[in-house]
Amino acid sequence: MCPDNGFDIDTLLDEVVTLPSLPDSVVKLTEMLDDPTCDMKAVAAIISSDPAIALKTLRLVNSAYYGLGQEVTSVDHATVLLGAKVLKNLAMTATAFECMKSSATQFLTHSVACGFAMKSIVLSGCIKGFVGSEDEAFTYGLIHDIGKVILEEYMPDEYAQVSALVEAEGIPWYQAEQRIIGVDHAELGARLAQKWKLTPAVVNAIRGHHELAKCDEGHRELAANLSIANQLCSLSGYLAHPKNTTQVLDETYVAAGMTCDALPGLTEQYFNMHGSIDELLGLAG
């Protein structure tokens, strides 16, 4: 334990917090889908082996989010219609929903809204170096605050103190976590992403979405855009917590490559997606 500022990240993970593992089905699914010659029937069998993931997969694939225009009644059918990359993102989304199922509605709404904000940023062409799909970008936003779920589960008393400090002093949530616990949700979320063997881009974007200096320089554009997505959904009323504040410095917009000219199109793109937020929230339960 750090004498002046609570825990450091390694001590916290050794003594207090146990990071959740990816379900075996998702681990196997990811390994299979990384092989371009994989048998899609075997993929369907892996998804079907986990009832919670299979149910959420079917509910997600039939949502307006994927817009397939036909009812999908089986996992086998879903694997025929969707490519490997989409299936991987869908399984990760289903897993994130499973991890956050006990979270407060306001937090879950914020997470989904941030997913759509990131998707909007990609669709608007604002992230010049992003090579993934808009569905991958959605996942970044969805899990950016997942470290909060873990801290609240394992340290409820300290987390109540964090909330009280935010309300009393009006400081950002991550700064209150650093003062009370010694570790913030961004660092813990990055460690979880590492454990789940997500890409370095995801790990760094989560770690640096409040403080860009904490992530590798090559991923700061992505982290900066995630920070802007976080602020965008908060300014739209989708706050992660009551009394929560967000801060995005001018240097973050510079690092993101975001210009004033891009903001109107991005904002319009995002607000056009608001109708899908409630639908996906219904699928998270």
Predicted structure pTM score: 0.88
Contact by Cβ (8 Å): 92, 137: no
Residue 21 DSSP class:
P
The domains located in the chain, with CATH, are 9-283 (1.10.3210.10)
Sign of CA dihedral 5, 6, 12, 14: positive
Could you list the beta-strand ranges (E) of the chain: none
User: pLDDT digit of tens for each residue in the chain (285 aa)?
Assistant: 343 558 899 999 999 999 999 888 888 888 888 888 888 888 889 888 888 778 877 887 888 777 777 888 888 888 888 778 888 888 888 888 888 888 888 899 999 999 999 999 988 877 776 767 788 889 999 999 999 999 999 999 999 999 999 999 999 999 999 999 999 999 999 999 999 989 899 999 999 999 999 999 999 999 999 999 999 998 888 988 887 777 788 899 899 988 878 888 888 888 888 888 888 887 665
Nearest to 276 by CA among 161, 26, 109, 159: 109
- Reduced to 3 states, what is the DSSP secondary structure of residue 14? helix
Distance CA 103, CA 281 (A): 12
C-alpha 72 chain-centroid distance:
26
Torsion region of 125: left, alpha or beta (phi above 0 gives left; psi -120 to 50 gives alpha): left
Terminal Cα distance for the chain, rounded: 37
Sign of CA dihedral 68, 28, 186, 85: negative
